[in-house]
Amino acid sequence: MTEVRNTENLEIAVAANRHLFLPGTRSRVNTSFLGWLNELPLKVQAKCIQRIDRRGEFGHELRRPEADLLRDGIDELRASYQGVHYRMLYFFAGKAVVVVSHGLTKERAVPPREIDTAVKRKKQTEQNFKQYTFRPE
């Protein structure tokens, strides 16, 4: 498993899988997702990165318990550790690009407002793909 100690390591892990991109903000990296991820325990970070890697490896074929469809073109990557459920909401842009919207910790169902946030980010990304993508250099 990949051990993530800071956002730079995550960028390297994402860069290793060329068709995974993160929607950007002014810094061209979605700080809400990276900030969320970096605040998690290292073992949880590793599980989340593993899910991202497996999404890249298996594409649309990845299913429960690792991934699931929510609504409106939004899917979730699922990781659990010590009874806590971690979710990374994402969507596909075209056939080969996965855009990670953001992450959250949940107890039961993913709150509708979280899915709405991902839908909004999906629309923004579709309107200007280059502005909202992270491309490793």
The domain that holds 122 is classified in CATH as 3.30.2310.20
Q: Is 1 exposed, middle or buried (0-12, 13-18, 19+ CB in 10 A)?
A: exposed
Whether residue 24 has pLDDT greater than 60: no
Q: Indicate whether 133 belongs to any domain.
A: no
Residue 40 sits in which domain range? 7-127
Sequence-distant (6+) residues with CB within 8 A of 94 are none
Helices (H) and strands (E) in the chain, counts: 4, 5
Count of domains observed in the chain:
1
The pLDDT of residue 13: 40
In a domain, 136, yes or no: no
**93-127: pLDDT as tens digits:** 766 667 788 888 887 889 999 899 889 888 887 88
